[in-house]
Chain A
Amino acid sequence: MNDMATLTKKDFESNQDVRWCPGCGDYAVLAQIQKLMPQLGIPRENFAFISGIGCSSRFPYYMETYGMHSIHGRAPAVASGLKLARPELSVWVVTGDGDALAIGGNHFIHAMRRNIDLKIILLNNRIYGLTKGQYSPTSELGKKTKTTPLGNIDRPFSPVAVALGAGATFVARTVDADQAHMASVLKRAAEHKGTAFVEIFQNCIVFNDGAYEAITDKSVRDDARLLLEHGKPLVFGKNRDKGVRLRGLEPEVVTIGEDGVTEADLVVHDEAAEHSGLAFFLSQFDAPKFPVPLGVFRAASQPSYEELNNQLHADARARRGQGDLAALFNSGDTWTIA
């Protein structure tokens, strides 16, 4: 038995050799999660990591917790069953852009819709790595891959937008190269009640290297990314002089101090807004027209599915008493043959 107070990152490292490619962004995510675990005040044996198939889905093998490497796309379904059966566990899903959004899209959206208390971490590298370089549902238009030699015509979608569209109560995005940002976002996700979804931009060094260079390269990233902060105006740029203003329903990038624009004209981020409209328009921001938002898009407080489920069971027991087999067998229309 581990004393919770003395748990360290090391206690969450399994004895299995990590087999991602050297330089893979997954290493950084693994390290951050292993670092986060001891900070949550949860006994190690109460964590479970569930994954599907893909590079990122090897994750559970490297965590010294309970875990399951299930089948392609189905991790949210497996995790939902586990969480409903054992609500006291802290259940994490680690998935990828193909696993969550292509083959597993249905389970992904329904987990969000139900608001089951799962932490879903999607490592988005915009490519199929384990099958060696085919485009994914998040690959850009025009991208050349092994299955799109003439360029991709399959329109990508934003995982954040999909999650919001499905009614997710916690939606955030971070990037593998920014350890401090990733740590803060993951901690927020861990503390959320209900489904917490985090998209992590993750670099695939072999099949899609540099996909996120614009927002990770320290020399340019401040002009390309927008760090979301609750209650603060949407300001970005190396000189913190750019911002996002709404013209009707159309967002636009403006420069503070030009054309009479002041900070007061900018949209103020509200992650707790009842309506997810603001979060949704942020989810549509993409280069080159807009900066790429990172941080918490939405953190709304809603009852979780398993809380409601527990309540249904408690109410049923209060009303009918704890179930009794003999009474159940003899209910309904019976007759006796002497």
Chain B
Amino acid sequence: MSAAAATAQAAEKRGAPPRPVEELDSVVIRFVGDSGDGMQLTGNEFSRAIAKAGHDFATHPDYPSEIRAPTGTLFGVSGYQIQFASRQVFTSGDAPDVLVAMNPAALKTNLSDVKRGGILIANSGAFTDNNLAKAGYQSNPLDDGSLGDYRLYKIDISELTAHALKASGLSKKEVGRCKNYYALGLMLSLYSRPLEKEEEDIRRKFAKKPEIAEANVLALRAGYAYADATEMFITNYRVRTADIAPGTYRSLTGNHAAALGFVAASELAGVPLFLGSYPITPATDILHELSALKHFNVATFQAEDEIAGICSAIGAAYGGVLGMTTTSGPGMALKTEALGLAVMLELPLVIVNVQRGGPSTGLPTKIEQSDLLQAVYGRNGECPIPVIAAHSPADCFDCAIEAFRLAVKYMTPVIFLSDGGIGNAAEPWRIPDPASLPKLEVKFRTDAEGFQAYARDGNLARAWVRPGTPGLEHRVGGLEKDFLTGNISHDPMNHQRMVEVRAAKVEGIARDIPPLQVEGPAQGDLLIVGWGSTYGSIVQAREQAAAQGLSVAHVHLRHLNPLPPDLGDILKRYRTVLVPEMNLGQLARILRERYLIGVEQLNKVQGKPFKVSEIHDRIVELCKKGAK
């Protein structure tokens, strides 16, 4: 029996008429509360329940950089948004259909995003005079009629949770922590999802604290029963399951997916992995994940600083393992000198920059794509480094493998750009069969005959030698080196030759980039060129525009340095090129410089992802302009 049918049946038992179940194509829900209210957990749990029901989904966690900001304050509000749908989902959605607000500050900071006519579920128990004052409300918005444009449900979640847990023997504080499960119960009921799986999950999650597990289960059931029994909700909703490719799935954040990708790269290459890293938001989860995998050939080293993070990885790479480091913008700045060393040493190395708002400390927990120019150009000397970027959480898995594929094949550091949106957001990941993944070919030179440390193969890569190999003892370093022997050389022509060969090696990677996939017409009015986490918004905006009959195509770049060899031809086939970016036009600048073309920009630096509508509006504007 489906959950909706069960709900209907339960209602019938009570003698009430079954509530209608409204079918929806997609729903966007945002949970908001204090940063200590467990909103990230609630959002995560809800998305897992949704995923198991066969929906596609995308999420966007939005939290403050303070761990527990003072309660009830506007700046302490933490949120988690999820969109799930009966079709493929690319973004967490523009505007919430439902806002679950645990206190006045959460309501105040998020209300303007909610769709007119959308559902507001407010924890009325938290709308105390004190909390209202902290949020800057003169009067209680739940009572003063100011929310007339919305469907408002006032539920005293605090009190109802306390009531449900009266007999639990838990402290007031512990009971307070269970109210997020009450809210989850409400939402599961409203969206016709069964409870049983969630109860199992809670018991598993809190296996070490059975009394907390039971309290959370009670709170969950109480919320579910309340939504089920109350006359407040006149409709239950159901979203048809999406048409998703068969397979086994799990929900992964980008950082988790990247970690799995790096372990996979190590296994595929048959070479151990070494991560040297210093904790930094929002990249640290990759270090967390890999630290727990010591039963693989994975070593993690929490270094004393960002510089030691990359330098230890360079040492490990010299030792013949897959060296990598993870960081975010400010940490990237600190690693810059060591990046130059890695370029000189010509050793494989992967540097992950999970970008955040900059400059300086900037917006640590918010989204931005403003480190592209830093990645491509930001070093002293002529210092080319290949750069790739992931476009979604699941894509981080593939990019992790691609980063190491390039690093070992071309004996070069590779920068892998992700961002806070991708890194912390979750989406379903179709679990691959490890046998289906590409092998990474790694060859260590062992033959001492004719060995020259900087002799190159057809890809201009030098040989990788593991210390401990007899007869191949050699020295490397940051001073310019002789073209063949690698010994120090200050010879003018040798330097020119080395600068050029390092550049040619990285440029040559272009031959290794698969043809670009263009969505939409092969030529026409408008081409959108994107990179990184703008992918979802661009896809949906383009689909909407195409459905309106506009001639608009989309190409999304994974390889940003070097650029794909077919990009130049593709750009020429459209009258206008638009680059939406969460910066002030960094890819746009690169495209102009490289292809000598005009590029339209759409730039957003608000710490938030693009709304589909923002890109769609620009598409329409540019298509209209072109038609004149």
- List the interface of chain A (C-beta within 8 A of B): 1-2, 14, 16, 43-46, 48, 50, 53, 60-61, 63-71, 74, 77-86, 88-89, 106-107, 110, 309, 312-313, 316-317, 319-323, 325-326, 328-330, 332-338
In Å, the complex CA distance between A309 and B291 comes to 12
B80 CB–A CB distance under 8 Å? no
Contacts A44-B470, A77-B315 aside, 18 further interface pairs with beta carbons under 8 A come to A16-B488, A64-B473, A67-B473, A74-B307, A81-B274, A81-B311, A81-B316, A81-B319, A85-B274, A85-B320, A85-B323, A86-B321, A88-B468, A107-B307, A313-B295, A323-B296, A325-B264, A330-B431
CB contacts (< 8 Å) of B317 on chain A: these are 81
CB distance from A145 to the nearest CB of B (A): 26
| CB-CB contacts below 8 Å: B218-267 with A | 244-251, 260, 263-264, 267
In Å, the complex CA distance between A80 and B294 comes to 18
Q: B313: nearest residue on chain A (CB-CB)?
A: A81
Inter-chain contact A329/B307, CB cutoff 8 Å: no
CB distance from A104 to the nearest CB of B (A): 9
CB distance from A113 to the nearest CB of B (A): 9
Inter-chain contact A1/B319, CB cutoff 8 Å: no
Q: Looking at the complex, which one of B295, B311, B474 makes contact with A323 (CB distance below 8 Å)? A: B295
Stretch at the interface among B48-56, B91-99, B167-175, B602-610: B48-56
A-B contact pairs, 5 of them (CB 8 A): A69-B477, A81-B319, A85-B315, A317-B295, A333-B251
For the complex of A and B, the 8 pairs showing the least CB-CB separation, nearest first, are A69-B477, A81-B315, A81-B312, A323-B296, A77-B311, A82-B315, A316-B294, A85-B319
CB contacts (< 8 Å) of A2 on chain B: these are 470
CB contacts (< 8 Å) of A313 on chain B: these are 294-295, 299
In Å, the complex CA distance between A330 and B248 comes to 8
Q: Looking at the complex, which one of A66, A88, A317, A330 makes contact with B474 (CB distance below 8 Å)? A: A66
B 33-65 binary contact with A (CB < 8 Å = 1; else 0)? 000000000000000100110100000000000
B476 CB–A CB distance under 8 Å? yes
B625 CB–A CB distance under 8 Å? no
Task: Tell me whether A85 and B272 are in contact in the complex, defined as CB-CB below 8 angstroms, given that A68-B475, A77-B303 are known contacts.
Answer: yes
CB contacts (< 8 Å) of A89 on chain B: these are 319, 467-468
CB contacts (< 8 Å) of B337 on chain A: these are 71
CB distance from B291 to the nearest CB of A (A): 10
Inter-chain contact B245/A70, CB cutoff 8 Å: no
Inter-chain contact A61/B319, CB cutoff 8 Å: no
CB contacts (< 8 Å) of B514 on chain A: these are none
Inter-chain contact B318/A68, CB cutoff 8 Å: yes
B304 CB–A CB distance under 8 Å? yes
In Å, the complex CA distance between A161 and B567 comes to 60
B381 CB–A CB distance under 8 Å? no
Inter-chain contact B316/A46, CB cutoff 8 Å: no
Inter-chain contact A60/B319, CB cutoff 8 Å: no
CB contacts (< 8 Å) of A83 on chain B: these are 315
In Å, the complex CA distance between A68 and B453 comes to 13
Q: Looking at the complex, which one of A61, A321, A337 makes contact with B247 (CB distance below 8 Å)? A: A337
B196 CB–A CB distance under 8 Å? no
In Å, the complex CA distance between A67 and B272 comes to 21
CB contacts (< 8 Å) of B312 on chain A: these are 77-78, 80-81, 84
CB contacts (< 8 Å) of B260 on chain A: these are 328-329
CB distance from A17 to the nearest CB of B (A): 10
B 295-330 binary contact with A (CB < 8 Å = 1; else 0)? 111110101110110011111111111010000000
B 466-482 binary contact with A (CB < 8 Å = 1; else 0)? 11111111111111000
Inter-chain contact A84/B274, CB cutoff 8 Å: yes
Q: A317: nearest residue on chain B (CB-CB)?
A: B295
Q: B54: nearest residue on chain A (CB-CB)?
A: A337
Most buried by B among A1, A50, A328: A328
In Å, the complex CA distance between A173 and B52 comes to 65
In Å, the complex CA distance between A60 and B244 comes to 58
CB contacts (< 8 Å) of A68 on chain B: these are 315, 318, 345, 475-477
Q: B465: nearest residue on chain A (CB-CB)?
A: A66
- List the interface of chain B (C-beta within 8 A of A): 48, 51-52, 54, 201, 244-251, 260, 263-264, 267, 272, 274, 276, 293-299, 301, 303-305, 307-308, 311-321, 323, 337-338, 340-341, 345, 431-434, 466-479, 487-488
In Å, the complex CA distance between A332 and B298 comes to 20
Task: Tell me whether A70 and B311 are in contact in the complex, defined as CB-CB below 8 angstroms, given that A89-B319, A107-B304, A328-B263 are known contacts.
Answer: yes
CB distance from B199 to the nearest CB of A (A): 14
CB contacts (< 8 Å) of A320 on chain B: these are 295
Q: Looking at the complex, which one of A65, A86, A336 makes contact with B248 (CB distance below 8 Å)? A: A336
Q: Looking at the complex, which one of B48, B51, B298, B471 makes contact with A1 (CB distance below 8 Å)? A: B471
CB contacts (< 8 Å) of A1 on chain B: these are 470-471
Inter-chain contact B467/A50, CB cutoff 8 Å: no
Most buried by A among B314, B469, B475: B475
Inter-chain contact B319/A70, CB cutoff 8 Å: no
CB contacts (< 8 Å) of B323 on chain A: these are 81, 85
CB distance from A50 to the nearest CB of B (A): 7
In Å, the complex CA distance between A328 and B313 comes to 24
CB distance from B241 to the nearest CB of A (A): 9
In Å, the complex CA distance between A79 and B313 comes to 10
Q: Looking at the complex, which one of A69, A74, A88 makes contact with B311 (CB distance below 8 Å)? A: A74
CB contacts (< 8 Å) of A82 on chain B: these are 315-316, 318-319, 467
Inter-chain contact B304/A78, CB cutoff 8 Å: no
Task: Tell me whether A110 and B431 are in contact in the complex, defined as CB-CB below 8 angstroms, given that A85-B299, A88-B468 are known contacts.
Answer: no
In Å, the complex CA distance between A84 and B316 comes to 7
Most buried by A among B274, B318, B345, B467: B467
Q: Looking at the complex, which one of A45, A71, A88, A106 makes contact with B470 (CB distance below 8 Å)? A: A45
Most buried by A among B250, B296, B315, B488: B315
CB distance from A168 to the nearest CB of B (A): 15
Q: B312: nearest residue on chain A (CB-CB)?
A: A81
Inter-chain contact A60/B246, CB cutoff 8 Å: no
Inter-chain contact A45/B473, CB cutoff 8 Å: yes
Inter-chain contact B318/A74, CB cutoff 8 Å: no
Most buried by A among B298, B476, B477, B479: B477
Most buried by B among A74, A330, A338: A74
Q: B268: nearest residue on chain A (CB-CB)?
A: A325
Q: Looking at the complex, which one of A61, A84, A309, A336 makes contact with B475 (CB distance below 8 Å)? A: A61
CB distance from A83 to the nearest CB of B (A): 8
Inter-chain contact B469/A45, CB cutoff 8 Å: yes
CB distance from A101 to the nearest CB of B (A): 15
Inter-chain contact A69/B478, CB cutoff 8 Å: yes
CB distance from A95 to the nearest CB of B (A): 13
Inter-chain contact B468/A45, CB cutoff 8 Å: yes
In Å, the complex CA distance between A84 and B277 comes to 14
CB distance from A263 to the nearest CB of B (A): 44
Q: A51: nearest residue on chain B (CB-CB)?
A: B477
CB distance from A327 to the nearest CB of B (A): 10
CB contacts (< 8 Å) of B263 on chain A: these are 323, 325, 328
Inter-chain contact B244/A337, CB cutoff 8 Å: yes
Inter-chain contact B311/A334, CB cutoff 8 Å: no
CB contacts (< 8 Å) of A323 on chain B: these are 263, 267, 293, 295-298
Inter-chain contact A67/B475, CB cutoff 8 Å: yes
Q: Looking at the complex, which one of A80, A85, A309, A316 makes contact with B308 (CB distance below 8 Å)? A: A80
CB contacts (< 8 Å) of A78 on chain B: these are 311-312, 314-315, 318
Q: B467: nearest residue on chain A (CB-CB)?
A: A66
CB distance from B411 to the nearest CB of A (A): 15
